[in-house]
Structure 1
């Protein structure tokens, strides 16, 4: 059982200037979303990050909101939160795959994103994963975003140049 496994967790990065995180959440399952947000806020606060939360209708809209914010606003990183519980149709696979793929593509374009969209078989799995005192996937997503922000700042301004190397 996964809950009995021990995992190494990187210490949170430290920052010399403020970090602004945008948490984009799909609150379809309100109680699950609230726990994910609580976990994300707690971890962000430990790193001294400022958090703004916005809500979108569903998991498929999370990447779109992050893409808009990346183009139009000033955030250092993003935390994607929500929950998709398997149902009786193939819609589950579409939502899980497409939201994850879109977040990955945004990350490959340079956005610092922690993905905390739960993809589970049933509500009890979601409850354990969202619980800040349990698996705290919201906090984990915030930590992932913060680590990517730290890497982005570390490498900012470094250029590889263009053309051929001598």
Structure 2
């Protein structure tokens, strides 16, 4: 069982400038979400960071909320939290795969994201993993985001923009021989 194994944990990163982290949580399983957030907040506060917590309806909305926040705000890093428990249909697979894929794509674009969306078979498995005084997967997701942020700050300045970036060239309308624009 994984809970009995010993795992190496990187030393907590240190920052010269304050960090601002957005925690995006899908509180479908409220008690699980509360424990994940508790662990994430403690990890962010341990490095002297500022955090904001927002809620979204479900795990599928977490990557979208992070993408919107990246375009429209000034967060340094993001923590994605939630829980998906296998049910009787294949919806579980869709939610697990697509939320993870969305976060991965954002990360590959340069966002510093810690993925703490639990994907489990039972509620009891989720409770064990979420417990802030136990496996603390929320704290682990925050630590991952902070470690990525430390690397980003080490290697250069942050870049804004997620996805399509329109050309900076002005739009030019063709005109007819009289100089009037053609509609």
Deviations 1:115-149 (A, max 9, x none): 00000000000000000111100000000000000
The answer to whether structure 1 residue 8 and structure 2 residue 24 are counterparts is: no
CA distance in 1, matches of 2:10, 2:72: 31
Alignment of 1:11-160 (within 5 A): 11-157=11-157
Partner of 2:168: none
TM-score w.r.t. the length of structure 2 is 0.85
Which aligned runs of 4 or more in structure 1 are off by greater than 2 angstroms? none
Q: SS state of the match for residue 10, structure 1? A: coil
State the structure with more CA Rg.
Answer: 2
Partner of 1:164: none
Task: Select the structure with the greater relative contact order (CA < 8 A; seq sep ≥ 6).
Answer: 1
Structure 1, unaligned runs of 5 or more: 158-166
Deviations 1:84-116 (A, max 9, x none): 000000000000000000000000000000000
CA distance in 1, matches of 2:5, 2:68: 38
Deviations 1:47-92 (A, max 9, x none): 1110100000000000000000111100000000000000000000
Write 1 or 2 for the structure with the bigger share of helix: 1
Q: When the two structures are aligned, how many residues end up with a matched partner?
A: 157
